[in-house]
Structure 1
Amino acid sequence: MLPTGRSSSVAWATKTRREIRETGTDDGSLVVIPVGSIEQHGHHLPVATDTLLADAVSHLGAERANDVPLLVTPPIWSGFSPHHTSLGGTMTLELENLLALLENVADTALENGFDGVCFVNGHGGNASVIDNVVSTVGKSHPDVEVTGLTYFQLAGPFIDDIRESDVGGMAHGGEFETSLMLHLHPDLVTMADADAEYLDEPYERGTQDLLVGGTLSSYREFEEYSASGAIGDPSLASAAKGEELFDRLGDELADVLRSVSEQAR
């Protein structure tokens, strides 16, 4: 999978085996693994939203880190999303199966000589799995720099320059994700059906927003938060905001990849 409307010079899937090995044997080489999900995002966004966005941000960040030898694998399209299944449209892996899948992809990619790996996650429900796979792959490959992040958390330093919604407006299918999708995949967005509500987390120490985390985790089915399956304020979304978010996220990820490459040398 490649970002719509453009090719990518860093896509693993477009390279020959010789090209992949040559990149892997360069000093400080990295393999970037986007991780998404197939889960409902309300009535206005496609179920592949998390996968499409993680993949696009991964390619942009990798292309901008053009001084680093790296390749971006095809995205892992299914994540851990049991809390979305009752609303329909969702496909989820069991936790242990997702962990094993990520380990297998990393293990075989690293056989091509890469010095480091970075998992770029696009789904909040995958975050704990990403933390775990960094540890398990790191333990199996002690000479490799193993890292992972959730891409939207990179927006923390600049999000207040862009957002208009109050806390709770940038959640699942809200201002943030809808803006990015309007920029990257406008043909897949149906704004007339953008029915959502602000996140109302009962725990004061729980997650309040896509970019406002909490110290307390809890579990509930998603319809307890939203009848439509979307949370936040998509009415404030725009392609212009999405373009700025995408541009700045690309710069942030490129900076991360350069740092990881330096550590991997």
Structure 2
Amino acid sequence: MPIKLIVLDLDGTLLKNRWKVHPKNLVAIQKTQDKGIKVIIATGRAPSSTIDIAKACLIHEQTGHIICYNGGNIIDITKENKMDILYEKSLSTEQIQAIIKFANDNNLAIWGYSTDNKTGLINRSSLRVKIMENFNHLPSKQIDETTTEGMYKILLFCKKKKQVNPILEKLNDIKDLELATSSHSVIEINPLGVNKATAVQFLCKKWGIKADEVLACGDGMNDYKLIQWVKYGIAMKNGHPNLKLAAYDVTTKNTCGGVAKAIDKYVFPISEFD
């Protein structure tokens, strides 16, 4: 079947650095949309650091949808200066309080994405908090284990890579969490069932698109279920080893325009990019 939808992760995939879409990827996306093929972004990021990138790719004028917080928000961005949230699911107060207590007990910093979409919620000040503020264009607010603030997703920062697996094991004591890693020492926490695969399935049902009509590109383990679900699940060469094992194919690095190469291979004949 022909591909009708392309789903793209941002960091380590579509972007060549934190903010810039690789020029080859931009050309490929625009050609794809000109052919009537839908393109969406599916990221762990907040809307505040995603929408401008989507607009740079003209996604707001074409498909007009983005997936943020690994599926915690599905957003229609076709309207000027307005976000229509089509789907949202946040962590429960009990889960949030348990995660903060867990972080404090294990001497770990957190960054929580508030359900107001305007604030980062933290348990302590740190260099990583400052980085997250700049990265997301969001101010932070310190909270404790008694907080009732709502959160779509929490990042838990391990100090060393070797801490990740033991911390993941311990987190299983907190019920109904969706756990993934997006970098060597960051654990992403969502409510159970919230992931990029279920978010894309929501949109596919809305648009009448089947799994074997979808191409998806990603690099991290928060892309794993999505890469498994679609027919054309493409891992980046710079991606996690386990993701590459699960992928339909492996493309080149994000810094070399790997998304464009995947689109070239599976959507268009080579001649269209000459």
1 or 2 for the larger relative contact order (CA 8 Å, sep ≥6)?
A: 1
TM-score (norm 2): 0.37
Higher helix share: 1
Q: Which protein is richer in strand relative to its size? A: 2
Query: TM-score, normalized by length of structure 1?
Result: 0.38
